[in-house]
Amino acid sequence: MGDPLGERAWILLSGIHYPGDLPDCPDSLAADRFYLYQVSEAEYVVMDKFCRLEPELTVPVTLLMNPCFEIDRWYWRHMGLRRGYSRCELRTLERKRTWRSGSMGDVLAEHATFLLDAKTDYLYDGPVCKC
């Protein structure tokens, strides 16, 4: 079934310049910049190819499951603070942002719908009954 929470978060994080990124570096917008993996029932680790953090940045599963959660905004703040920006500077920079990826949405329900609509034959499925 894959990892719908990690995949959605990865998609929403990609394609954005974050505080401290070099603005003329096209690689910072690469689709493979981020990788998320679950380390426990309660949290995921966010790996950023362009910024290795110690300790690693973790995001709670409860946030990822919140349909209104904006992971790009969350990551924006965390990266800005870790790179030495003040909260005031971050607010100013965030107002100037030209791209926002949106919220997580109902990831699990959307993934379940996708799987059910895939119209694959399921193991041990009998013939279709016609009434």
Rounded (5°) CA angle 93-102-85: 25
Q: Which residues face 48 on adjacent strands?
A: 34
3-state helix, strand, coil in the chain (%, to 5): 40, 10, 50
Residues 72-107: tens digit of each pLDDT: 999 999 999 999 999 999 999 888 877 777 888 887
Under 8 Å between Cβ of 46 and 58: yes
**In sequence order, which residues have a C-beta less than 8 Å from that of residue 107 and are 6 or more positions away?**
4, 5, 8, 64, 65
- Residue 64 predicted with pLDDT over 60: yes
Give the pLDDT of residue 47.
94
Residues 21-57: tens digit of each pLDDT: 988 888 888 889 999 999 999 999 999 998 888 888 9
